[in-house]
Amino acid sequence: MELFNITATTFFGLENVLKDELEALGAKDISVLNRAVMFRGDTTLLYKCNLWLRTALKVLVPIAKFNANDERALYNQIYKIDWEKYFSVNQTFAIDPVTSGTVFTHSKYASLKMKDAICDFFRDRRGKRPDVDTEYPDIRFNLHIYNSECIVSLDSTGVPMSRRGYKARQTFAPLNEVMAAGILKIAGWDGQQTLLDPMCGSGTFPIEACLMARNIAPGTFRNFAFEKWNNYDHEIWSALKKEAKNAVKRDANTRIIGYDNDPAALDAASRNADKAGVEDFIDFDRMDFFKNEEPFRNIFVIMNPPYGERLEDAAEMTEFYKNIGNRLKASYTDSKVWVLSGNLGALKNLGLHPSRKVKLYNGAIECKLECFELYSGSRKRPQN
């Protein structure tokens, strides 16, 4: 099969994790970019990326790259593309624009010029303009502009891959699935050690961990945009899905635990796990992290405590994070604890020394992922 350029997008800080995933899938000529990884592959790899990548948001296929210094040049370059290669006048389409730099400062306006050029292309050739459907289009395009450099791509994914399709319910501030999977990979969780999320909310960390431990493809629960393409290969896609189904580990016995003090959150977590087919492999239970004195030893702890985004929460969050640190020290000896927080000031009040810090973004919120290695007694080696 012929190789072509492909770009997988991701969150800031997850680029190298995504690169490792792509290498494992057999991608060629990999280049790490800002919030994206570029590589070469064939149709099978394109489909496989959508099915298996845990830390990608979109998988794009560039179809045109050019420079445009104003709106007229942008329109003309887009009009030159042979759009009938990608969809027909009777299909609907949508455009996702991403612009930065000083030339095109309004992404919606750039998207409007691209829409006009595509519609005029079909009107001039077929006497009819295709319709735009921003919700459920037959085909979706991506327009990326940095200063005057423009890249037009086919979006093979559609709805971002962070929306796995298993979340029937979620809490007020749910953790993104792609971010959760990326954090688990950054943290080096091996799928073998007991994992506990003591503030699990709607269960994203435990569910993503279970999908990894059981080798369940994250794209199992949803459809993708490429399934509506003119050159969609049903045989390849069916074979890949069958292969993924057969790859599931039926005998995975890793213990994965999710605690929360909110009954509604636990109900959401259980329903989400059930929809993902992993409810029987995760222990969800109602537990107050600060009152639970059950000792844990040598386990993997991962948590995303509340950030307290209002100014009046500052003093309360300081005390809240101090109490988290005290409970960790008291009940989680000989364990590795990873904490993600967007409250960088409060995070310093844990009273623990991080062995590692990673800068990430949970949506638009700058976060720190910090690792704390807890030991019983002193870490110092005895003197000879």
Q: What is the pLDDT of residue 251?
A: 80
Residue 23's pLDDT band (boundaries 50, 70, 90)?
very high
Helix (H) or strand (E) holding 93: strand 93-100
Between residues 315 and 185, the one the model is more confident about:
185
Q: Which of 222, 269, 228 is nearest to 244 (CA)?
A: 222
- 167 contacts: CB under 8 Å, gap ≥ 6: 174, 177, 202, 272, 275
162-186: average pLDDT: 85
Q: Which of 61, 52, 65 is nearest to 25 (CA)?
A: 52
Q: What is the pLDDT of residue 380?
A: 46
Q: Which amino acid is at 220?
A: T
- CA dist., res. 170 & res. 373, Å (int): 30
> What separation, in Å, do the N-terminal and C-terminal C-alpha atoms of the chain show?
63
| DSSP string for 104-154 | ---HHHHHHHHHHHHHHHHHHHHS--PPB-SSS-SEEEEEEEETTEEEEEE
Sequence ranges of the domains in the chain? 4-155, 177-216+249-373
256-284: average pLDDT: 95
Residue 382's pLDDT band (boundaries 50, 70, 90)?
very low
| CA distances, 373 to each of 192, 339, 353, 355, 379 (Å) | 18, 11, 8, 7, 10
pLDDT tens profile 52-89: 999 999 999 999 999 999 999 999 999 999 999 999 99
101-124: average pLDDT: 95
Token pair in block for residue 258 = 């999710």
Between residues 130 and 292, the one the model is more confident about:
130
149-173: average pLDDT: 87
Chain Cα centroid distance, residue 303: 17
Is the pTM here over 0.75, yes or no?
Answer: yes
Q: Which of 147, 157, 182 is nearest to 70 (CA)?
A: 147
**pLDDT over 90 percentage in the chain:** 83
Q: What is the pLDDT of residue 172?
A: 56
Residue 295's pLDDT band (boundaries 50, 70, 90)?
confident
3-state secondary structure of 315: helix
Are 7 and 153 spatial neighbours (Cβ–Cβ below 8 Å)?
Answer: yes
**pLDDT over 70 percentage in the chain:** 95
- 337 contacts: CB under 8 Å, gap ≥ 6: 301, 302, 303, 328, 352, 371, 372, 373, 374
Q: What is the pLDDT of residue 171?
A: 57
Q: CATH for 177-216+249-373?
A: 3.40.50.150
- CA dist., res. 335 & res. 328, Å (int): 9
pLDDT tens profile 187-240: 999 999 999 999 999 999 999 999 999 999 999 999 999 999 999 999 999 999
Residue 381's pLDDT band (boundaries 50, 70, 90)?
very low
- 60 contacts: CB under 8 Å, gap ≥ 6: 6, 7, 8, 9, 142, 153, 154, 155, 156, 157
Between residues 382 and 322, the one the model is more confident about:
322
- CA dist., res. 103 & res. 370, Å (int): 38
pLDDT at 355 over 90: yes
Question: Other CB atoms closer than 10 Å to residue 36's CB: what's the count?
Answer: 18
CATH architecture of 4-155: 2-Layer Sandwich (3.30)
Residue 310's pLDDT band (boundaries 50, 70, 90)?
low
Q: Is the dihedral of CA 23, 26, 27, 28 positive or negative?
A: positive
Q: What is the pLDDT of residue 170?
A: 60
